[in-house]
Amino acid sequence: MQADAQKSYNPSMDIKGDTITVPRPVLEGLSGISATFADRMHELLDKNSEGTISMEEKRILEMLVKVAKLDQVVTLALEISSRP
């Protein structure tokens, strides 16, 4: 496992404390969730609201929400970095 981590290390990324610096092209590749992703998340949100969601679906929903929140952060970071 440690060998895999060393192979995937990217020297253009920098981690200092709570800050991670990622090259813009990498962030641009991460920005935006697919319509399929959003549809599935909303389907599970509806099931959760209705009280018909299974435990497995709830775990999936929690993961999808985390990914959507990360996408919002990445999108905002790209917008802010594009400002003059």
The amino acid at residue 83 is R
The answer to whether the Cα torsion of 22, 82, 77, 44 is positive or negative is: negative
Separation CA 39–CA 33 (nearest Å):
10
Whether 57 shows a pLDDT value over 70: the answer reads yes
Whether 70 shows a pLDDT value over 70: the answer reads yes
pLDDT, residue 1, reads 40
Separation CA 9–CA 56 (nearest Å):
32
Give the distance from CA 23 to its chain's centroid: 16
DSSP label at residue 20: E
**pLDDT tens, residue by residue, 4-52:** 444 454 555 565 677 767 677 777 777 678 889 889 999 999 999 999 9
